[in-house]
Amino acid sequence: MVMLEDLTLTRFWEAVTQTRERAQKAAQQNRESALDTAHAAYIHAYRFEHLEEQTDAWHQAQRLTEYVTAVRNHTTSLPRS
């Protein structure tokens, strides 16, 4: 009988150990997945911010070009003395 009890306890602890290892592996995979998601979100936000800055700079350059063109057109239309 003692051997049967020992065998049952051995199987029980093996099952507990396997369950714990599976839970740890799943938790590790969840952490890695969360890190991957966070990293992708950071990259997207960084690219969006950089694109927004480039767009703002382009619009500012466009407005400056229009202003310079308007000043040039105005000054060429003034009478020369």
CA dist list (Å): 5 to 11, 14, 16, 18, 38: 10, 14, 16, 20, 49
In a domain, 49, yes or no: yes
User: What type of residue is 36?
Assistant: D
Q: Could you give the number of structural domains in the chain?
A: 1
Q: Is the dihedral of CA 56, 61, 67, 73 positive or negative?
A: negative
Match 């093996």 to its residue by tokens: 14
d(CA 69, CA 63): 10
Whether 10 is in a domain gets the answer no
Return per-residue pLDDT of the chain as tens, 81 residues: 556 576 688 888 899 999 999 999 999 999 999 999 999 999 999 999 999 999 999 999 999 999 999 999 999 988 887
Has residue 9 been placed in a domain?
no
Asked whether residue 53 is assigned to any structural domain, the reply reads yes
Domain that holds residue 45: 40-73
Classify residue 54: in a domain, yes or no: yes
| Residue at 17 is within a domain | no
This prediction has a pTM of 0.58
- Asked if the structure places residue 59 within a domain, the reply is yes
